[in-house]
Amino acid sequence: MAAGSAPGVLEDGVYISFPQVLFTNASVSDDVVYAMARAMYEGRDDMIAVFPPFGAFDPESMHGDPGVVPFHPGALRFFTEAGLN
């Protein structure tokens, strides 16, 4: 990452990245989680404008392996609609 490319990055450096998981509560409505997943999928450029390291985010890989935590039904609905499953 180049110096100045993100807040607090004062000099060039190599950064390690890893998959991120967004958790929610099962009581959150399907529509809210669906809207969040869709906003992330469609809003990559906006997220990068706010936080440049989001440039490593690939919307096509959103439906990864969550491990032992099940996907929320709202997320699954979005993944199906977007052809990510």
Angle, helices 30-42 vs 73-82, to 10°: value is 40
Given this model, what pLDDT does residue 64 score? 81
Contact 75, 30 (CB under 8 A): no
Given this model, what pLDDT does residue 18 score? 66
* Residue 46 falls inside a structural domain: yes
Can you tell me the distance from the alpha carbon of 63 to that of 82, in angstroms, rounded to the nearest whole number? 10
* Residue 36 falls inside a structural domain: yes
Given this model, what pLDDT does residue 28 score? 97
Given this model, what pLDDT does residue 39 score? 96
Contact 77, 34 (CB under 8 A): yes
User: Could you list the pLDDT tens digit for every one of the 85 residues in the chain?
Assistant: 899 887 788 899 987 766 778 889 989 999 999 999 999 999 999 999 998 888 888 999 888 887 788 999 999 999 999 999 7
Domain tally, the chain: 1
Structural domain that includes position 50 = 30-82
Can you tell me the distance from the alpha carbon of 72 to that of 25, in angstroms, rounded to the nearest whole number? 8
* Residue 54 falls inside a structural domain: yes
* Residue 12 falls inside a structural domain: no
